[in-house]
Structure 1
Amino acid sequence: MSDVRPVQMSSPVLTVRQVDAYHAITVVAPGIAERFRSGQFIAVAVGGEHSSMLTRRMFAIHEVKPDYGGTVEFLFTVRGRGTAWLAERRSRDLLDVIGPLGRPFPLPRDPVNCVLVGGGSGSAPLFPLAHALRRRGCRVDFVLGGATASRVFSAITARRIAETATVTTDDGSLGTKGRVTDVLPRVIDEACSDVVYACGPMPMLREATAVAMRYGIPIQVSVEETMACGTGICMSCVIPVVGEDGITRMARACVDGPVFRGERVRYDDVGTVPFDALGAPGWKARGGGEDRTREAG
């Protein structure tokens, strides 16, 4: 979890715009902008003061401008009543926002070659990361994908800020037909990539992790799990993650993540509590010369 405490703000909407198939809202939130680190997200109250929609909606931060009054832009797709309400906001409306939340992407100490892999709206948090990496002298290459051309987020911007930007679509309407992981090995080879950063659906992250492991390079993944509170209380976003000690624990994506080391995430067990996870029924502790069965916590 980030060591920077989040703040709650009543933030005026600056702009609401359409970006490809997505909506983007920019709010004035200087307290969040000055604390933000790439990979963190915000929690936004929806429906207004008297709404029955009690839970906040979590959104990755796409762009921050601390020097322009402290603005924060987030991206979303209309999927239900909450996001439909957000899409109807206009300039000067007020949004109740909490942030920045979550564990950010770790940045390399020295300049290295980085490939950033994003699927759909999952590409959004990779753009502030790209700027942070460039400031450290790193080479940045993008691999962006989507179901169709309209679902590939901001490919033009990616080409402007990175050395290369490779695009894939499921239907072949833009770039290479296929998935981002189909072209990732070629990009790693051509760019001599030292590290992979990825954000998108869990199947994409699993495959990207497999590619990175074949090349023997580290991968940092930002998981897209459904969150209800954003503060670690509700436990709705837990995923099985292997710790440094080799023991699997149910990690909360909102506070222990959303960024994890890719090889530590047990992708095939997401949505379950593995039998060997700490606290699971029948879990046996290792150490002390004997196994000690622990009851479920």
Structure 2
Amino acid sequence: MQFKAMIISNHEVSPGYFRMRMSAPPELADARPGQFIMVRVRDAIDPLLRRPFGIFDVGTVASEFSGCGPQTYVEMLYKVVGKGTETLSTYHHGDHVDLLAPLGTGFDLGDPDEEKILVGGGIGIAPLYYLAKKLVERSRVRFFLGGRTRDDILCVTEFERLGVETYVATDDGTLGDRGFVTDVMERHIRGAAGKRTIYACGPMPMLQAVAGIAERTGVPCQVSLEAYMACGMGACLGCVVKGKEHSDESPDYRCVCKDGPVFAFDQLKWV
């Protein structure tokens, strides 16, 4: 769907990180965790391209207008890194943006009787909150959250309110364990029994580490990739990654926007 969304709220949750809530049509309530939205930042040539953002949350609240019934909303979590996100950070309640949503494939929620392991790095937690919201209705969920410093650790309270057991690691030790969150996650996986599935989103080096852990331990794993996108629908081929069968003689490429952004880790070529 393409629609105009009114901004309901837009606030800074940590230095340089913002959480934006926007109005949405009721049909968006059927969006799957892991899908994303494409945002046209403003009605002007600059910036020209839409920006992709993972769906952080979808829900309904009472409308501010009397007699209008529940209002569906969609939320995104973003970091100010360039002109587009800097412009978004200046918007307030009542401003409007143009959205395409929902796009891409989502996570497979899997067997409700197994433990779900979520691992995210920095802004990579964006699609994991909505996923956790769905998973806790049927499974035990643990969340491993990493960042360079404490300022990169986002929304811990929100996950804990869902009933998710949360673990934190920072590179500099300013919050939680010192070191890589993937090391903390691997220790848990090797020390626990029973079936489980890993769900991961974050920077590529972190996802490569997660894929290696999944391969070594035999634990199923789904990853959500971050990529620059121009169209969001597979037409421009600007966000391709190498599939597992890729070689110079036989290219195998997957579009992050259309084939993903969620992939089983063994569908991709990591080295």
**Aligned equivalent of 1:96:** 98
Distance 1:163 1:202 in 2: 25
Match of 1:40 among 35, 43, 60: 35
Distance 1:109 1:211 in 2: 20
Distance 1:171 1:226 in 2: 28
Spell out the pairing of 1:169-188 with structure 2 (5 A cutoff). Answer: 169-188=170-189
Q: Could you tell me whether the CA contact under 8 Å between 2:232 and 2:258 is conserved in 1?
A: yes
Report the CA distance between 1:109 and its aligned residue. 3.9
Distance 1:221 1:248 in 2: 21
Match of 2:210 among 187, 205, 208: 208
**Aligned equivalent of 2:108:** 106
**Aligned equivalent of 1:284:** none
**Aligned equivalent of 2:64:** none
Aligned residues: 257
Report the CA distance between 1:133 and its aligned residue. 1.1
Q: Does 1:28 align with 2:23?
A: yes
Greater RCO, CA 8 A, separation 6+? 2
Root-mean-square deviation (CA), in Å? 1.6
Match of 2:270 among 248, 255, 267: 267
For the structure 1 residues 179 and 200, does the alpha-carbon distance in structure 2 shift closer, same or farther, using more than 3 Å as the test? same
Q: Could you tell me whether the CA contact under 8 Å between 1:32 and 1:72 is conserved in 2?
A: no
Q: Does 1:56 align with 2:57?
A: no
Spell out the pairing of 1:1-297 with structure 2 (5 A cutoff). Answer: 7-21=1-15, 22-31=17-26, 33-46=28-41, 48-66=42-60, 68-135=70-137, 137-192=138-193, 194-242=196-244, 249-268=252-271
Gaps of 5+ in 2: 62-69
**Aligned equivalent of 2:65:** none
Q: Give the TM-score normalised by structure 1.
A: 0.82
| Identity across the alignment (%) | 39
Distance 1:219 1:44 in 2: 29
Report the CA distance between 1:71 and its aligned residue. 0.3
Q: Could you tell me whether the CA contact under 8 Å between 1:242 and 1:249 is conserved in 2?
A: yes
Distance 2:251 2:154 in 1: 34
Distance 2:118 2:95 in 1: 34
Q: Give the TM-score normalised by structure 2.
A: 0.90
Gaps of 5+ in 1: 1-6, 269-297
**Aligned equivalent of 1:278:** none
Q: Secondary structure at the match of 1:26?
A: strand
For the structure 1 residues 254 and 175, does the alpha-carbon distance in structure 2 shift closer, same or farther, using more than 3 Å as the test? same
* Higher alpha-carbon Rg: 1
